[in-house]
Amino acid sequence: MLSGRTIVLGVSGGIAAYKAVEVCRRLVDAGAHVVPVMTQGATRFVGEVTFSALASEPVQTSLWAERDPIPHTRLGQRADLVLVCPATARLIGDYAAGISHDLLTATLLATRAPVVVCPAMHTEMWEHPAVQENLATLRRRGVVVVDPGEGRLAGGDVGAGRLADPDDIVAAAQRALVQASSAGDLEGLSVLVTAGGTREAIDPVRVITNRSSGKQGYALAEQAMARGAKVTLVTTVARPVVPGIEVIEVTSAADMEAAVMPRRDADIIVMAAAVADFRPAQVAGHKIRKGDTVPQIVLEPTHDFLVDLGADKREGQTLVGFAAETEDVVASARRKLERKHLDLIVANDVSAPGVGFDHDTNQVVILNAAGFDHDVALSDKRSIADAVLDAVVEWRRTTARHETA
């Protein structure tokens, strides 16, 4: 998504400006055409020649450059993306209020391209209500905010406000471009997503469960909504979610089935949850204490309602399953896809480093019913979600063409 794209890299006046040098280099290495714009404050931390040497064009700093009477308009119109790294409290406040007093703020107001801002400031500033309200305003307007991390700050203390890692910033830029190019491709469609690992009771205290965090399912739900869908999320975990998604909280496999089946007429169903295959056949009515007789837990299979969804799939509906495997990943997933009459299945090797359960990253193979396999390299889970939704959109287009041929 970065190759051949014009990215205006705005650098404002904070100590983290030096980290924008690495972001610039990575963007250029990925094939982007990077146009650096520095505020006067930024030039106090990093010299103009550094960005001019690494970027695709010389640095621009002034609204009054003789070579172009309206540089902010030209920049705003040329940009496929505007990335501000770092974004100071002043820059965020000016942008939220619509104030343009230099080339960077004027460009931000003059563009219709997607905008990504990467705040960096001291903890007290980051936590100030005014800063948080300004960021909330920008988010409501569609600006992507890459939240800072925690770590060592200028002055030697430790806390929140440290600029996000370059890898995360570049990934956010990629996501913003993906969202811009795919915006609206799920418009008018209903999407049902499941997330998290179900919990099957042993007694009123203990459960059998798995390590699923629900992160992938939440990413799928949020990216589907960003692409125009009306989204329902059935989940076993309580995680923050963007407004506008209907959230239904459940616990067990039976609870999830009870929530999903009445909503099985959704246009797209993505079963990302790790639903238990087995549950205790008997549930103790009281907590089993250490002094009690050691219980013999007999397991019985849960009902695989994904089979029912596949059997009852209506014309025009798309059904996506997930397969968390530890061996024979593709072959096992292909058998599951065929047995359950799925359109697509997303398979991953959860024994691999950084993949699947409870990680922020994933690496998957997307298989479809026509025999196509697509490998998606290790990426953050939002990028994986977009890859899955891209595959869904392409599948729907392909099947629609076949039906009308």
Please list the active-site residues: 210
Helix (H) or strand (E) holding 152: strand 149-152
Residue whose C-alpha is closest to residue 14's, from 110, 117, 143, 128: 117
For residue 247, the number of C-alpha atoms closer than 13 Å in the C-beta half-sphere is 17
Distances in Å between the Cα of 230 and the Cα atoms of 192, 194, 195, 205, 262 are 9, 14, 17, 36, 16
**Token duo for residue 253:** 């496999």
Tokens 């639903």 belong to 275
Q: Tell how far CA 39 is from the center of its chain.
A: 30
Distance, in Å, from the CA atom of 254 to the CA atom of 302, rounded to the nearest integer, reads: 8
Distance, in Å, from the CA atom of 347 to the CA atom of 323, rounded to the nearest integer, reads: 5
Distance, in Å, from the CA atom of 22 to the CA atom of 27, rounded to the nearest integer, reads: 9
Distance, in Å, from the CA atom of 291 to the CA atom of 289, rounded to the nearest integer, reads: 5
Tokens 């009902």 belong to 303
β pairing state of 278-280 and 299-301: antiparallel
Distance, in Å, from the CA atom of 52 to the CA atom of 37, rounded to the nearest integer, reads: 10
Q: Please classify residue 48 by burial: count the beta carbons closer than 10 Å to its beta carbon, then call 0-12 exposed, 13-18 middle and 19+ buried.
A: middle
Q: Which residues contact 53 (CB under 8 A, 6 or more apart)?
A: none
CA R_g for the chain? 24
Q: How many CB atoms lie under 10 A from the CB of residue 308?
A: 15
* DSSP string over 159-215: EEEEPPPHHHHHHHHHHHHHHHHHTTTTTT-EEEEEESB--EESSSS-EE-----SH
